């Protein structure tokens, strides 16, 4: 029963098997939740799968990252955000409103090439988040600063 030509390949099950791990309902549910949420902290995943306790969610996210199915980045000061590992892109995060914009990974090509040439440093761009102020917040700040008297 090793050949099932009619069944679609299940990348999650086969990846788990390669690492000597079993497919479990928890692993499938956590994977589905991250897929749906796009970026998800452990707390957000736990909210999406209330039948699985938080400790199991944490452990499952770690296992799925170790076997290369998930990757994480940091979109704020708190917990890391997990996403599908194949989805390689760069994140812009606004300090003020916490909005997240996904940009193509080639945005960092010039930086990565410079770091490699000058520092022999290899940029881990899937872990790379650019923090700053989005256009909306910059406009609001400029507007507020132009008023006399701080209302806060």
- Residues near Zn ion (CB under 5 A): 94, 96-97, 102, 134, 137
User: Smallest distance from the beta carbon of 11 to Zn ion, in angstroms?
Assistant: 20
**In contact, 39 and 100? CB cutoff 8 Å:** yes
Name the DSSP letter for residue 5. T
Of residues 17 and 127, the one with the C-beta less far from Zn ion: 127
User: Smallest distance from the beta carbon of 127 to Zn ion, in angstroms?
Assistant: 6
User: Smallest distance from the beta carbon of 37 to Zn ion, in angstroms?
Assistant: 11
Dmax of the chain from CA atoms?
Answer: 77
Main-chain dihedrals φ then ψ at residue 9, nearest 5 degrees: -65, 140
Of residues 11 and 132, the one with the C-beta less far from Zn ion: 132
Q: Could you tell me where the beta strands, DSSP code E, fall in the chain? A: 70-73, 81-84, 89-94, 100-104, 129-132
Of residues 102 and 106, the one with the C-beta less far from Zn ion: 102
User: Smallest distance from the beta carbon of 83 to Zn ion, in angstroms?
Assistant: 5
Sequential DSSP letters for 27-67: HHHHHHHHHHHSSB-HHHHHHH-TTS-HHHHHHHHHHHHHT
Of residues 111 and 138, the one with the C-beta less far from Zn ion: 138
């Amino acid at each position: 029963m090793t050949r099932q030509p009619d069944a679609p390949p299940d990348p999650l099950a086969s990846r788990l098997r390669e690492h000597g791990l079993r497919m479990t309902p928890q692993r499938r549910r956590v994977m589905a939740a991250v897929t749906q949420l796009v970026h998800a902290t452990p707390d957000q995943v736990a909210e999406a799968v209330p039948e699985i306790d938080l400790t199991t969610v944490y452990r499952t996210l770690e296992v799925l990252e170790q076997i290369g199915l998930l990757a994480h980045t940091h979109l704020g000061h708190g917990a890391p955000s997990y996403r599908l590992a194949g989805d390689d892109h760069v994140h812009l995060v606004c300090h003020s409103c916490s909005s997240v914009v996904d940009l193509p990974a080639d945005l960092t090509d010039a930086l990565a090439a410079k770091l490699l040439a000058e520092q022999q440093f290899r940029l881990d761009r899937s872990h790379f988040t650019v923090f700053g102020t989005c256009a909306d917040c910059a406009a609001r700040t400029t507007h507020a600063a132009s008023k006399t008297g701080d209302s806060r």
